[in-house]
Amino acid sequence: MSLRRFSPRSPAVIALLLVVVPHIAAAEETASAPDLTVTIRIEIGDRAELDVLTRLVSIENVRGHAVWAVATPRQLENLREAGWSWQVAPAMRRATEPGMCAEGWVDDGNRSWTCYPSYQQYEALMLKYATDHPDICQLVDLGPTTNTVQPHRLWALIISDHPRDEEDEPEVLLTSTMHGDETTGYILTLRLVDHLVRGYGNESEITSLVDGTELWINPLANPDGTYFGGDDTVADAIRYYTTSDGADSKINPNRNFPDFEDGDHPDGNPWWPETEAMMALAEANTFVLSANFHGGAELVNYPWDTLERRHPDDIWFRTLARGWANLVQADSPGGYFIDQENGISNGWDWYEINGGRQDFMTFFQGGREVTIELSETKLLPPGDLDELWLWNRRAFLSFVAHAQRGIRGVVTDANGTPLAATIEVLGIDREEDGSTVRTDPDVGDYHRLLLPGLYDLRIEAPDFALQEIHGVAVVDGQATVADVVLHRVIRRPTHRAAPNHGKKAPRLVLE
């Protein structure tokens, strides 16, 4: 068995957890009052109305002037008081009878993927992958969920050629179903794991990806929501987190993260344990590329969600998003994955989100995250899952391969010791967008994802003299290596006369 219990290494993260815990009970009290949610449709006149509306209800989709949202009775009352009118709309489409996997499904080498596993089958399958493929798989326990009555855990698999070792390779995170009723990504990311372990050593593309990447896959980020009706069914899955006693908390997982525009708690709630677990995971690793899979639309959504200003890598993000959309459109019948700008959208242009995970990972962690909406139907009939996999299989592999492009290298001191450094692309990165990337301090490796072109870099680490590298050429489909040695700054006295009553002024010397 290959099992690693996750333990945050950062003192900042530990302090964060200690501060948050006392607030959970208070938040549960407020959240559990209204019981029911309703899907509504609102017609807006202009964009300014949408910017206000996103703070009153949980928006699910916007097409033209039509807005679909989920609201509690309390939120509906707030809408009414603010002068809004709406129509009750059918909930986002979902299978009426989602078929569950049969007994023996986990151990069936030719298992069907046109069913939904029970929670116990999900756990058993994740463990089986790690047990059967210990050379490339490691199971990681990210911690418990909120529900203590029907407890679950958050699981991830590391897939790499040396999954227990820190190496000079990009770290990539794929995670799905933070909204518990959006289950297409849950099954597709599980199937991606299956595809990778079966193909490793047999298919060159897969072998190259696994050998050159540390890939983390967390197929189910909100098991409390997905198995709200019991561990043997997904039929009653809900969007939100639960409270500790298993009730619907009405806390939207994708509004519960710190926001660089609206502060630590833009939704007015404490961070839920599932949010804390994801924040701690991100803090303890250096994810250079990540995707968060959802349902309810069909597109790739890229930063920023929280404000209109474009990310410095906006063209790169658009290229990444267009690459996914083009592949799935080529591999599917007409009419799939064509929402917004033919399958892609800037987050703000679609609708504003405050407290979303995409912006958290991109701004606070220096990574590059997109949100991928895989299916307009949130909970697909199980018979449709097979074709969704076929339509998206190439896009999954291509997405991960993007982590091996741009500029990469290792930053060390003169003795070869890895350094915690930041890498700035001159003329592109901006401090207000948090767009510089950082090295993984365990190895000193960095991975700056860039389109083909010529770039100038500035590399900095505390107590070391900065270094600039000019004219680094990036070509399509691979990474240019630019290793860096930084020299420590040592302060030594000088014998030159100095002001201030003859005191000797220190001078800077490079080690």
Tokens describing residue 397: 């592999």
For residue 493, the surrounding DSSP H or E stretch is strand 489-493
Q: How far is CA 161 from the centre of its chain?
A: 22
**Cα torsion angle, 139, 202, 167, 405, sign:** negative
What phi and psi, each to the nearest 5 degrees, are found at residue 158?
A: -95, 125
Burial of 488 (0-12, 13-18, 19+ CB in 10 A): middle
Q: Is 294 helix (H, G, I), strand (E, B) or coil?
A: strand
SS (H, E, C) 197-250: HHHCCCCHHHHHHHHHCEEEEECCCCHHHHCCCCCCCCCCCCCCCECCCCCECC
The closest alpha carbon to 92, from 143, 49, 173, 38, belongs to 38
- Residue 238: count of CB within 10 angstroms of its CB: 20
Q: Looking at 169, 276, 298, 373, which residue is catalytic?
A: 373
Q: Please enumerate in sequence order all residues whose Cβ is within 8 A of that of 74, keeping only pairs 6 or more positions apart, or say none.
A: 33, 34
DSSP 379: B
Q: How far is CA 296 from the centre of its chain?
A: 17
Note if 97 is an active site residue: no
Q: Where are the alpha helices (DSSP H) in 108-166?
A: 119-132
Q: Compute the distance between CA of residue 245 and CA of residue 416 in angstroms, rounded to an integer.
A: 52
DSSP 487: -
Q: Please enumerate in sequence order all residues whose Cβ is within 8 A of that of 77, keeping only pairs 6 or more positions apart, or say none.
A: none
Q: Is 20 helix (H, G, I), strand (E, B) or coil?
A: helix
Catalytically annotated residues: 373
